[in-house]
Amino acid sequence: MSRAQSRAYGEGASPLIVPYEASPLHFTSIFGNDHPVTVEIGFGMGGATASLARTNPEKNYLGIEVFKAGIGKLLWEIRKQGLSNIRIMEHDAVEVLEHSIPAQSLGALHIFFPDPWPKKRHQKRRLIQGPFAELMASRLRAGAYLYVVSDWEDYAKKTLELLSALPELENPYPGFAEPLEWRPRTKFEKKGLEKNHRVYEIYLRKRKGI
Ligand SMILES: C[S@@+](CC[C@H](N)C(=O)[O-])C[C@H]1O[C@@H](n2cnc3c(N)ncnc32)[C@H](O)[C@@H]1O
């Protein structure tokens, strides 16, 4: 962690960090308004989070990350840019989704470049697997979207297959989505692009009336 990030992080005591508790969060009290909430899992250094929050002040962003240097960096950006619509949880996203995010509460869920775990024997560590896919879908409101981006072909294909099989989600695209021009490039993405990786976009919506 750089000195600025470490100062911003301040032993995790920032009021912008929401402590993990195994009980449902009350978003209106956390953000001080009832704007729709986007959860971003694994924001890394938080560049995309800060950029989206700046351009969408009418939305709230809850970033979930376990990487301290990234949390410090995002806290520093929030202060530098004077952003009031971001909160952070420093905890495992699976537990947060399961215990802290109420069912049918989110306007959107972003996962940009989840750890690819390319080796066959490590693939069970991948974040997006069957039960977690169902959990994610259950946290979205009707009409909300789930947006996953990866530069790892087999992970992206499996994720698309898994999510497309969920009856409560619908895919407005025939398969992978067109690149959405509003999505900022992330740090991890830039590294992949330097190695000529292809980027796969997955964008599904929660059906209404389910
Ligand atoms: C490959 S990095 C991508 C970071 C960023 N989204 C980007 O594109 O630059 C994946 C991030 O997910 C975080 N992560 C992985 N598993 C997580 C989990 N279970 N809960 C919270 N964060 C997680 C890691 O700490 C890491 O920062």
The residues spanned by each domain of the chain are: 3-11+37-206
Question: pLDDT tens, 145-181?
Answer: 999 999 999 999 999 999 999 999 999 999 999 999 9
Our answer to whether residue 115 is catalytic in this structure is: yes
Over residues 88-94, mean pLDDT = 98
Phi first, then psi: give them for residue 38, nearest 5 degrees.
Answer: -105, 130
93's CB contacts (< 8 A; 6+ apart) are 41, 42, 64, 127
Q: Is 40 in the pocket of ligand 1 (CB under 6 A)?
A: no
Q: What is the pTM of this model?
A: 0.95
Q: What is the mean pLDDT of the chain?
A: 95
Q: Is 186 in the pocket of ligand 1 (CB under 6 A)?
A: yes
Which superfamily, per CATH, for 3-11+37-206?
Vaccinia Virus protein VP39 (3.40.50.150)
Residue to mutate (ligand 1; options 45, 113, 129, 190; most atoms within 8 A of CB): 113
